């Protein structure tokens, strides 16, 4: 890869580092991220334009570097190599300001995340796949129905409201929720304005700690409508992370015991749901979920 970068970008990395699944090197004081994709040129051109537009608006999103041929991406074997210059000065812990900087209604050409369709398909697919197993995955067998129950409540409530998907957000799992992935233009989609806030608080719950004062400020922010808050609650209630990890277990990418991160935190998570519910007491759809109070 060093030689590829030298010959195509006239850059001379001394060392290529790996952090989780991210590869990068330094050019002077700049951190350059190496991104590989098999997307076509039309898609890549779209992401270049999005990155440039958002950066011009004052958001320090990572930007594409041009190769020595004047192009934003370089073909290597059957994929494209993209070099992204990381522009954000914040490399420490994530906070709400990192999330809110993207929470803008921008007319960039992004696909919408059809959230209800995605949610329903994920459950249907897992239910079908689990029919093939008997006693092979006891942890999944014992926990799946509970998490599906929570998620079906979430889907039903979402179907009863009109929510917009016109804000820049991220198609990320909480396992990849960090400043580098937030600033990666390949992760951007159009979503509801609460979508990234949900990711943030789920990330904090499982990997850090929930600051309830911070959560309180979100729930009582007058910028958010009743529909926004219901969306927020529903997406906290929906067990996307558990479902994704069940899928990884079935594909032998993770040990089944990994799911205990969710199972061992069921009561603590119910307290989170209860707190949100109690601070949305004037919203009837939430008040009807009496099982949370038990």
Going by pLDDT thresholds of 50, 70 and 90, the confidence category of residue 21 is: confident
Strand, coil or helix: what is 221? Answer: coil
Question: What is the torsional sign of CA 246, 165, 87, 2?
Answer: positive
Beta carbons of 178 and 94 less than 8 angstroms apart: yes
pLDDT at 222: 85
pLDDT (tens digit per residue) in 178-228: 889 999 999 999 999 999 999 999 999 999 889 999 999 999 988 888 899
pLDDT at 110: 87
pLDDT (tens digit per residue) in 45-78: 999 999 998 898 888 899 999 999 999 999 988 8
Going by pLDDT thresholds of 50, 70 and 90, the confidence category of residue 101 is: confident
What does the block give as tokens for 141? 């067998």
Half-sphere exposure of 163 (CA within 13 A, CB side): 31
Confidence check: pLDDT of 140 > 70: yes
Q: What are the sequence ranges of the domains in the chain?
A: 2-86, 96-293
Higher pLDDT: 89 or 110? It is: 110
Tell me the whole-structure pTM to 2 decimals: 0.91
Say how far apart CA 114 and CA 13 lie, in whole Å.
Answer: 40
pLDDT at 104: 67
Provide φ and ψ at 73, rounded to 5°: -155, 155
Least Cα distance to 126 among 143, 111, 103 occurs for: 143
Say how far apart CA 28 and CA 133 lie, in whole Å.
Answer: 54
pLDDT (tens digit per residue) in 10-19: 999 999 999 8
Maximum C-alpha span of the chain: 64
CATH topology of domain 2-86: Phosphorylase Kinase; domain 1 (3.30.200)
């Amino acid at each position: 890869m060093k030689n590829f970068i030298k010959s195509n970008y006239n850059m001379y990395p001394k060392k290529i580092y790996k952090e989780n699944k991210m590869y990068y090197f330094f050019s002077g004081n700049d951190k350059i991220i190496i991104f590989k994709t098999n997307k076509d040129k039309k898609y890549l051109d779209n992401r270049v334009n999005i990155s440039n537009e958002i950066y011009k608006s004052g958001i320090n999103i990572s930007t594409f570097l041009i190769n020595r041929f004047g192009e934003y991406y370089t073909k290597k074997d059957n994929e494209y190599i993209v070099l992204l210059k990381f522009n954000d000065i914040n490399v420490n812990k994530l906070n709400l300001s990192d999330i809110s900087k993207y929470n803008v209604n921008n007319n960039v050409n992004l696909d919408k995340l059809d959230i209800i369709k995605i949610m329903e398909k994920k459950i249907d697919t897992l239910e079908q796949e689990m029919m093939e197993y008997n006693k092979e995955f006891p942890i999944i067998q014992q926990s799946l129905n509970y998490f599906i129950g929570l998620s079906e409540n979430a889907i039903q409530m979402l179907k009863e409201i009109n929510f917009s998907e016109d804000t820049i957000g991220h198609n990320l799992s909480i396992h990849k929720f960090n400043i580098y992935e937030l600033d990666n233009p390949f992760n951007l989609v159009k979503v509801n304005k609460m979508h990234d806030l949900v990711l943030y608080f789920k990330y904090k719950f499982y990997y850090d700690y929930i600051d309830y004062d911070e959560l309180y400020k979100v729930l009582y922010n007058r910028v958010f409508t009743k529909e926004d808050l219901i969306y927020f609650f529903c997406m906290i209630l929906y067990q996307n992370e558990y479902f994704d990890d069940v899928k990884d277990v079935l594909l032998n990418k993770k040990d089944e015991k990994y799911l205990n991160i969710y199972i061992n935190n069921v009561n603590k998570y119910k307290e989170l749901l209860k707190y949100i519910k109690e601070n949305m007491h004037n919203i009837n759809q939430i008040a009807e979920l009496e099982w949370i109070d038990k």
